[in-house]
Amino acid sequence: MTRPLTVAHRAGNALGTLRTAFELGADLVEADVHAYRGRLEVRHHKAVGPWLLWDNGQLVRRRDLHLVGVPELLAAANGDPGLMLDLKGIDPRLPKRLATVLAAVAPDTTITICTQHWWMLPAFRDTANLRLVLSAGSRRGLRRLRSRLRRRPAYGVSVHRRLLTPETVTELRQGSEVVLTWPVDTEADLADARRLGVDGVIGKDLGILQD
């Protein structure tokens, strides 16, 4: 059986876990990118006002975290084609700013761009070496995705595992090269992903991904 692509979920949000994920052989390492007050930040935390961030049921002060910047992340990745940037939030300035940074800092590096906000993706169509992935996490999103792929194929799609069947995966593959799914954080999740026939799995447990 062919080994699925492995995507290390959130591992790119800190430089230490970024390097660990690459060393363990992850095919893609995901980092979450937000636009905040004129700059790009790499974080999964959600902003709660100007000074606080929220993640996993806890509030933390922004000043207590070292938030990685996109240029710093790109430097740490050192040209590895396995970096995947997941665009978060709805700031309309995010895609253009990120496209500008990528063109200036890593113009020749292959990078995967993923988002549930598909209106952001046209900003990257003229940037070389980018692979665009459309994400869907709800039934409505999946319906839109199926319709979109019939009109305009994409490099890849990323769909929540509970929304998929083997037949749906086959259909999605007709309009995309790669079908990814999440969450895959246990052995049972991995077995289910194999049953579905997806091309790649997204999970936080690096041990399971490495196996």
- pLDDT tens digits for range 67-102: 889 999 999 999 999 999 999 989 999 999 999 999
Q: Which residues pair with 129 in a beta bridge?
A: none
Chain segment 23-41, per-residue pLDDT in tens? 999 999 999 999 988 889 9
| pLDDT value of residue 52 | 64
pLDDT band of 49, cuts 50, 70, 90: low
Higher-confidence position of 209 and 130: 130
CA dist 118 and 133 (Å) reads 9
| pLDDT value of residue 47 | 74
Answer positive or negative: Cα dihedral of 116, 119, 123, 126. Answer: positive
Report whether 111 contacts 81 (CB < 8 A).
Answer: yes
Mean pLDDT of the chain: 92
Higher-confidence position of 149 and 65: 149
| pLDDT value of residue 210 | 75
What DSSP assignment string belongs to the chain? -PPPEEEETTGGGSHHHHHHHHHTT-SEEEEEEEEETTEEEE-SSEEETTTEEEETTEEEEGGGS-PEEHHHHHHHHTT-TTEEEEE-S--TTHHHHHHHHHHHH-TT--EEEEES-GGGGGGGTTSTTEEEEEEE-SHHHHHHHHHHHHHS-EEEEEEEGGG--HHHHHHHHTSEEEEEEE---SHHHHHHHHHHT-SEEEES-HHHHH-
CA dihedral 118, 183, 109, 197 (to 10 degrees): -90
pLDDT at residue 45 greater than cutoff 60: yes
pLDDT > 70 fraction of the chain, expressed in percent and rounded: 96
